[in-house]
Structure 1
Amino acid sequence: MSTTTINPLSMMATAPLTTSTPASDSSSTSGDWFDAMAQAWSKSLDDEANTISTMSNSIGDGNDDPKAITMLTAESLRMGYLSDSSHTSLSSVGSALDTMARKQ
């Protein structure tokens, strides 16, 4: 009788993720945790882009005092940081999952 050993990490990588979100949020779906991480980064980046857009529109409408411009600059730098962080984390986890899959 032979026994098969299952790698717990590979089980975790493909573990189902159940989400309980309102039906009106069509961007959320059930999937694995890698999808959930990507969706969370996507939402964070979308929220930051909306903040920058709102601040930019305010400056375009005449609110061009130094404080508003400095805040817009800070939010733009934050967007760059979030973008770089999302790319790094998704690439690192994707690469780790790829390596794990090849060792199966």
Structure 2
Amino acid sequence: MTTNINTEMSNLAATPLTGQRMERDNRPGNWFEAFADAWGKALDNQAAVIEQKSDGIANQGGDNPSQITMLTAELMKMSFLSNSSHTSLDSVSKALETMARKG
């Protein structure tokens, strides 16, 4: 089952994230770490999809154009997710930095 960043973020939003609770559950210690963790899980899930499709092509003789095209689509999705995670984490970290300077 593929989990996307929206699902991960919804799950995080549904449960209050306090330092003690996260430490007890081996979760990140603050919301920024939880945000990064959600992106990491989404990227891990997409990597698993790519690995599965790659194995199908390599080990099951599925090297036909339609399967290669689907693998390419999954790789492009991974690229999009990776770029989006970097951009969003960078933007949030810069906002936190700005807030810290003003505080």
Q: TM-score, normalised by structure 1?
A: 0.73
Assess if the C-alpha contact under 8 Å between 2:39 and 2:85 holds in 1: yes
CA distance in 2 between partners of 1:67 and 1:46 (Å):
24
For the structure 1 residues 51 and 31, does the alpha-carbon distance in structure 2 shift closer, same or farther, using more than 3 Å as the test? same
Q: Which residue of 1 aligns with 2:89?
A: 90
Assess if the C-alpha contact under 8 Å between 1:59 and 1:69 holds in 2: yes
Alpha-carbon deviation of 1:40? Answer: 0.3
Q: Which residue of 2 aligns with 1:70?
A: 69
Larger Rg: 1
CA distance in 1 between partners of 2:98 and 2:75 (Å):
35
The structure 2 residue matched to 1:36, chosen from 34, 37, 44, is 34
Structure 2: stretches of 5+ with no match in the other structure: 1-15
Q: Which residue of 2 aligns with 1:52?
A: 50
Query: 5 Å matches for 1:1-20?
Result: 17-18=17-18
CA distance in 2 between partners of 1:48 and 1:29 (Å):
21
Identity of aligned residues (%): 53
Alpha-carbon deviation of 1:30? Answer: 4.5
Higher helix share: 2
Structure 1: stretches of 5+ with no match in the other structure: 1-15
Moved over 6 A (4+): none
Assess if the C-alpha contact under 8 Å between 1:52 and 1:72 holds in 2: yes
